[in-house]
Amino acid sequence: AASRLDFQVRDLALAEAGRHQIRLAEHEMPGLMALRERYAAEQPLAGQRIAGSLHMTVQTAVLIETLVALGAEVRWASCNIFSTQDEAAAAVAVGPTGTVDAPAGVPVFAWKGETLEEYWACTQQIFAFEGGPTLILDDGGDATLLVHRGRALEQAGRLPETADDAAEEERIVDAVLTASITADDRYWSRIADGLLGVTEETTTGVHRLYELAKEGQLLFPAINVNDAVTKSKFDNRYGIRHSLPDGLNRATDVLIGGKIAFVVGYGDVGKGAAESLRGQGARVIVSEIDPICALQAAMDGYQVARVEDVLDEVDIWVTTTGNEHVITTEHMLGMKHLSIVSNVGHFDNEIDIAGLAATGAERVEIKPQVHEWRLPTGRSILVLSEGRLMNLGNATGHPSFVMSNSFSNQVLAQIELAQRSAEYATDVHVLPKVLDEEVARLHLDALGVQLTTLTDRQAKYIGVPVEGPFKPDHYRY
Ligand code: NAI
């Protein structure tokens, strides 16, 4: 069993710098701060042990300290090898009242630039509570995956058999599971049994949860935080509108205006990406597989084309699909000299980097998370964050105000499972609309929004309560 103050971060001396940033972020996160105030006396998370796997940024530090303020014990890892802000991780480990010599914060296992082995070792660390965790807070589903795969192997009474052609990451996960199951062949089963549920942050993680539920393999209730309106219609869209150009600028500082940019996918993230690139003066082309989203893109004024048809025109590529190999090796071989190739979807398989390496292309590091690939064709392309989320790898992710919306949903979802898990069947649920509206309400004052109140007659006329909820569940915003 781990003691309460174990942690692994880059450098605790960064804690002061991190604490300053956290203090400023708190001012920009009115939803989280209102929840701290509202629940200070009640302590709805008292007795909960939360295993968190989510980008270890300054904004996440405010989330973690909110969970602690509501009574929880927390252990944390990042959900991506490049997304940690080392000063935020250090500040969380030291804690608001601790010192570098006597850290008194939260056990956090995260640093920028982990290897995949380190990443999965850190993910395993978040479960090492005395008595096991009671809740998972996940982003992308890696923490949830470890428990499900570990328990399935224990139930079957065997160690993982890694296929000869398995991907590197699969081998690493299997090695982690082999070690834990060899030491204790009920380890993951006990963890699964102790969990009240998981709250999942992102589209890709939610997709994995619905698959598990469909196959009858989901082990505990899950709340789909992503599909709260105040999450996906804000963070995915307005968040990326801010952090995508931030990543491009910090990585390359290439002028976006006048360039041709290509956004693969026109869902929530794609819409924000296209808008920001157009805002910088780029001519934006979009691709889609879904006729509805393709039509939306066309009506929003974008050219809609296929990747392979415009390879020699595009200067900046951004993938936003949550799908695999939407940019193939063949595509990259046909691209313009020094075009920028980047991804903001959750996993690094959107761009076929493994295929690129197999062409014999030479990889030259311009700086960390920026690589020139010298192709056999004589041209080069610039790949950001090795094909992983570039808004977090090359920049610092979404800004505080939008993350306050997402993370207020996370906190409310954690409280739901802590207090009412018996009412949630082992399935995937979204938060009730009144909580969604509440999260939005918590952010209005900070922006000087004056909300109109329905009169009783008006409320009756449109058939909704004066205090909401204002829309039926099928409304799409
Ligand atoms: P979404 O489902 O709204 O959008 C994805 C779109 O891609 C869909 O419209 C789909 O039709 C399209 N698509 C799928 N395959 C395609 C292909 N081969 N070619 C062209 N289009 C294709 O999902 P959302 O919410 O936009 O999320 C996208 C990804 O971004 C997910 O992996 C999600 O987890 C991640 N994400 C990343 C964030 C970040 O900070 N970088 C923030 C939020 C989400």
What confidence tier does 1 reach under pLDDT thresholds 50, 70, 90?
very low
Q: Which pair of tokens denotes residue 104? A: 């008194």
Q: How far does Cα 101 stand from its chain's mean position?
A: 32
Q: Is 3's pLDDT higher than 80?
A: no
Q: ipTM score here?
A: 0.99
| 185 in a labelled binding site | no
Q: Is 411's pLDDT higher than 80?
A: yes
Q: Do the strands 222-224 and 303-304 form a parallel or antiparallel pair, or are they unpaired?
A: unpaired
Cis peptide before 399 (omega within 30 of 0): no
- Which of 243, 227, 314 lies closest to 59, judged by CA? 243
Ligand 1 center–CA 152 separation, angstroms: 29
Contacts 24+ apart (CB under 8 A), 185-191: 185/154, 185/157, 186/154, 187/150, 187/154, 188/146, 188/147, 188/149, 188/150, 188/151, 188/153, 188/154, 189/150, 189/151, 189/154, 189/155, 190/132, 191/127, 191/132, 191/133, 191/147, 191/150, 191/151
What confidence tier does 2 reach under pLDDT thresholds 50, 70, 90?
very low
Domains and CATH numbers, the chain: 12-230+398-435 (3.40.50.1480), 238-393 (3.40.50.720)
Give the model confidence (pLDDT) of 5-33 as tens digits.
699 999 999 999 999 999 999 999 999 99
pTM assigned to the model: 0.97
Name the strands in the sheet holding 303-304, side by side, starting at the edge strand that comes first in the sequence. 303-304, 283-287, 260-264, 316-319, 339-343, 380-384, 370-374, 362-367
Residues 6+ apart with CB under 8 A from 184: none
Instruction: Verify whether ligand 1 is closer than 6 Å to residue 264 (CB atom).
Output: yes
Distances (CA, A) of 129 to 137, 194, 316: 15, 11, 45
Interval 410-437 mean pLDDT:
97
Give the model confidence (pLDDT) of 227-285 as tens digits.
999 999 999 999 999 999 999 999 999 999 999 999 999 999 999 999 999 999 999 99
Q: Is 439's pLDDT higher than 70?
A: yes
Ligand 1 center–CA 262 separation, angstroms: 14
Q: How far does Cα 80 stand from its chain's mean position?
A: 8
Ligand 1 center–CA 268 separation, angstroms: 7
- The whole-angstrom separation of Cα 416 and Cα 424 is 9
Give the model confidence (pLDDT) of 101-157 as tens digits.
999 999 999 999 999 999 999 999 999 999 999 999 999 999 999 999 999 999 999
> Using CA positions, which residue lies closest to atom 8 of ligand 1?
267
Please answer whether residues 276 and 245 qualify as being in contact, where contact means their C-beta atoms are separated by less than 8 angstroms.
Answer: yes
- Which of 237, 242, 212, 213 lies closest to 226, judged by CA? 237
Please answer whether residues 392 and 82 qualify as being in contact, where contact means their C-beta atoms are separated by less than 8 angstroms.
Answer: yes
| 139 in a labelled binding site | yes
Instruction: Verify whether ligand 1 is closer than 6 Å to residue 406 (CB atom).
Output: no
Ligand 1 center–CA 346 separation, angstroms: 8
- Which of 93, 180, 79 lies closest to 123, judged by CA? 79
Ligand 1 center–CA 345 separation, angstroms: 6
| 226 in a labelled binding site | no
Q: What is the DSSP letter of 233?
A: I
* Mutational test site, ligand 1, from 320, 348, 351, 396, max ligand atoms within 8 Å of CB: 320
Interval 47-55 mean pLDDT:
98
